[in-house]
């Protein structure tokens, strides 16, 4: 097996899934993660359709995911008094199975920790490629040699920056910012959620971990603000400026925000690239082709991409040139469909004109009575299933 030693940057979803399948195919994966430990919290992510569920079943993690699933039902739009105005079907938001991102990361870590080396609290600083491999330097650890380096490190990928160029060349802001954090279940929600919209602002609360807590979510339309990703104080100040006096639970949730242990704030963005591989370096998941957090496709897309990349490396006997070419060929159409879905959802969720906002509000109220009320759910499922997965399991020793 050529290029048997593979370094993966990122321990969220794509990284551990890739490590699992690489190990199954006879490779030796190492995962480096900037955070000192697994990240908890985060928003709920979902899987839908045969492609997603078949990979999870083959990995043997489906039972654990089912046990930790959110069990979310419908999501309701409410007015300023909290009265329901319209209810959206559960399948639109939670797919076949929904789970908190932090819980999913823990399950994937548990499935791989015995067979992959994890290095927490460190990050790649340089990549020096030659004919035989890549010399990698780290912020803390000693330099090491690997056959291949894979960036599975998210929207703001460090590996992408080092190997392909600055972030602004590839990350497309979609005109929306989001924030999410854990808070109390103020409304005693029972596996459901409430959403309140005012113009280009949306604030929501949905129950989590079997109603013992809740997730507060904020979205607002804005051009790119240039806020430092690590400047939490400034991020919270911007959110307060946008939502103070907004109505419903906005002010109460803003108070909770100051004490949240897992506050997250970022641009809603897509990653658009002509190619996801260069030499001995490849990208997977949000680092390569984020469809945006509003799409509902990002985690499933990362799962499929990691499975295909590992499988093509096994099919090519570790020949990265052949494998990387096949990986891009297999994924290109699937990625395009997921990103189209993400772009459309972002435009609908934060419309720019008052007329469109009013039309959408009326549409949501009528939706439960319309014959095409499940159309968006069907479109999402069709997009998620629009790939035929090759079975790579028997290509190499387990």
Dump pLDDT digits (tens) for 189-203: 999 999 998 888 999
Please indicate, yes or no, if residue 31 is contained in any of the structural domains. yes
- Could you tell me the end-to-end alpha-carbon distance of the chain, in angstroms, rounded to an integer? 14
pTM (predicted TM-score): 0.92
- Please state whether beta strands 281-283 and 277-278 pair in parallel, antiparallel, or not at all (unpaired): antiparallel
Is 392 a member of any domain? no
Which residues, in sequence order, are CB contacts of 354 under 8 Å at separation 6+? 199
Closest CA to 171 of 87, 259, 288: 288
| pLDDT score of 77 | 87
Q: Is residue 393 part of a domain?
A: no
Residue 396 belongs to some domain of the structure: no
Per-residue confidence (pLDDT) for residue 363, from 0 to 100: 62
Taken in order 77, 83, 86, 89, the sign of the CA dihedral is positive
Residue 51 lies in a domain: yes
**How much is the pLDDT for 398?**
44
Query: Is residue 92 a part of any domain in this protein?
Result: yes
Low-confidence ranges of the chain (pLDDT < 70): 41, 91-93, 347-377, 395-398
* pLDDT on residue 315: 95
3-class secondary structure per residue, 320-333 = HHHHHHHHHHHHHH
Distances (CA, A) of 271 to 214, 284, 342: 29, 11, 11
Q: What is the pLDDT of residue 40?
A: 79
Tell me what pLDDT residue 96 has.
85
Q: Give the count of domains, the chain.
A: 1
pLDDT in the model for residue 43:
82
Residue 171's CATH number: 3.50.50.60
Residue 126, helix vs strand vs coil: strand
Alpha-carbon separation of residue 338 from 29, 172, 250, 386 (angstroms) = 28, 15, 31, 9
- pLDDT the model gives residue 375: 64
Q: Considering the domain boundaries, does residue 52 fall inside one?
A: yes
pLDDT at residue 178, as a whole number: 94
Measured between alpha carbons, how far is 133 from 95 in angstroms, rounded to an integer?
A: 41
Rounded-to-integer distance, Cα 230 and Cα 209, Å: 27
Q: Is 53 helix (H, G, I), strand (E, B) or coil?
A: helix
Residue 390 pLDDT:
92
Condensed to tens digits (0 to 9), the pLDDT of residues 253-278 reads 999 999 998 999 999 999 999 999 99
CA separation for the pair 112, 154 (Å, rounded): 19
Domain around 131: 5-384
């Amino acid at each position: 097996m050529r290029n048997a030693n593979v370094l993966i940057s990122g321990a969220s979803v794509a990284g551990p899934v890739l490590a699992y399948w690489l190990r199954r195919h006879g490779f030796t994966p190492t995962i480096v993660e900037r955070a000192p430990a697994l990240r908890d919290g985060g928003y709920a992510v979902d899987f839908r359709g045969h492609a997603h569920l078949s990979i999870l079943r083959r990995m043997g993690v489906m039972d654990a995911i089912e046990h930790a699933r959110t069990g979310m039902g419908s999501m309701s739009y409410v007015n300023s008094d909290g009265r329901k105005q319209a209810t959206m079907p559960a399948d639109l938001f939670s797919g076949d199975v929904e789970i908190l991102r932090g819980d999913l990361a823990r399950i994937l870590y548990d499935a791989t920790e015995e067979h992959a080396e994890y290095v927490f609290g460190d990050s790649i600083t340089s990549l020096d490629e030659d004919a035989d491999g890549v010399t990698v330097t780290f912020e803390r650890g000693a330099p090491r040699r690997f056959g291949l380096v894979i960036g599975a490190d998210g929207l703001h990928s460090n590996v992408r920056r080092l190997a392909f160029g600055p972030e602004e060349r590839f990350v497309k802001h979609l005109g929306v910012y989001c924030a999410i954090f854990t808070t109390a279940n103020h409304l005693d929600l029972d596996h459901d959620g409430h959403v309140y919209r005012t113009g280009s602002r949306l604030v929501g609360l949905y129950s989590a971990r079997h109603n013992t807590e809740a997730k507060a979510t904020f979205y607002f339309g804005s051009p790119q603000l240039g806020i430092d990703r690590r400047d939490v104080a400034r991020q919270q100040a911007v959110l307060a400026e946008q939502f103070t006096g907004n109505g419903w639970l906005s002010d109460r949730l803003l108070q909770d925000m100051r004490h949240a242990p897992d506050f997250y704030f970022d641009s809603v963005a897509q990653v658009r690239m002509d190619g996801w591989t260069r030499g001995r370096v490849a990208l997977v998941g949000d680092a390569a082709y984020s469809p945006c957090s509003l799409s509902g496709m990002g985690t499933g897309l990362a799962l499929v991409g990691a499975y295909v990349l590992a499988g093509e490396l096994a099919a090519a006997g570790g020949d990265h040139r052949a494998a990387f070419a096949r990986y891009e060929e297999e994924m290109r159409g699937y990625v395009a469909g997921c990103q189209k879905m993400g772009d459309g959802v972002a435009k609908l969720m934060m419309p720019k004109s008052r007329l469109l906002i009013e039309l959408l509000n009326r549409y949501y109220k009528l939706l439960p009575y319309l014959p095409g009320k499940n159309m968006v759910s069907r479109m999402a499922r069709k997009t998620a299933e629009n790939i035929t997965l090759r079975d790579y399991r028997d290509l190499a020793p387990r």
